[in-house]
Structure 1
């Protein structure tokens, strides 16, 4: 039984968890939390020396406070080299490195990574999708892999 749980655990991809850096209120709500923009940071779980910063809208009000509201699809991303870059495992193009639920069930925001071998650059793309229909809104950032001093 222990081996089964270990196999299940190893089969699930390791995704980054975000740390909230800050937030600003954008719409005042009389009841429940305000609508806001949150800024979160996460480290790429397979690439040491890379941190990504994601800003996104978070819906407030009663529904937002209860986790029932659907957040907007807009997001911005900036990834930076914060140390020597080292690959902890083999990278796959389009591999999901971060995912966060943006509605109760059907919608999520995710960050995927690509490696541009010709230019020796890591490329990160953030987008939102739903079970039925995603959004074409996206943002991209790139990190040229340079020696760290």
Structure 2
């Protein structure tokens, strides 16, 4: 049984974990946490020297405090070269590098990476999806791969 769980764990790709950088309240709630915008950072798990910053809405109130609320689909992303870029493995276009649940069951926000070989640039796309219907709202950022001094 342990071998089965280990095989399942190893088959799941490693995704980055986000670190909260800051937040601002947008709507005051009498009960439960306020609605807010959070800013989070994560490092690309397969590309050393790249950090991405996400800003997104988090729903507050009683449902938000209990983790039952559905967060909005809007998000913004900015990825930057923060050191020498080194690839830790083979990159696949559209590979998921970050994913976070934004509702109890059916909705998630994710970041995928593409490599624009012609321009030697990494492109990151953030979007939200649901099991049945996703959202066309998205944001994109790009990092030209340059020598690090």
TM-score normalised to structure 1 length: 0.98
The CA RMSD over aligned residues, in Å, is 0.8
Quote the Cα distance in structure 1 between the aligned partners of 2:57 and 2:95: 24
Displacement after TM superposition at 1:101 (Å): 0.3
Quote the Cα distance in structure 2 between the aligned partners of 1:15 and 1:82: 19
Displacement after TM superposition at 1:8 (Å): 1.8
Quote the Cα distance in structure 2 between the aligned partners of 1:125 and 1:32: 32
Q: Can you give the 5+ residue segments of structure 1 that lack an aligned partner in the other structure?
A: none
Displacement after TM superposition at 1:7 (Å): 2.1
Displacement after TM superposition at 1:3 (Å): 3.8
Deviates more, 1:6-15 or 1:45-54: 6-15
TM-score normalised to structure 2 length: 0.98
Quote the Cα distance in structure 1 between the aligned partners of 2:105 and 2:64: 14
Residue-by-residue CA offset, 1:13-51 (whole Å, 9 max, x unaligned): 000000000000000000000000000000000000000
Alignment length (residue pairs): 149
Quote the Cα distance in structure 1 between the aligned partners of 2:21 and 2:32: 22
Q: Can you give the 5+ residue segments of structure 2 that lack an aligned partner in the other structure?
A: none
Displacement after TM superposition at 1:9 (Å): 1.9
Residue of structure 1 in register with 2:47 after alignment: 47
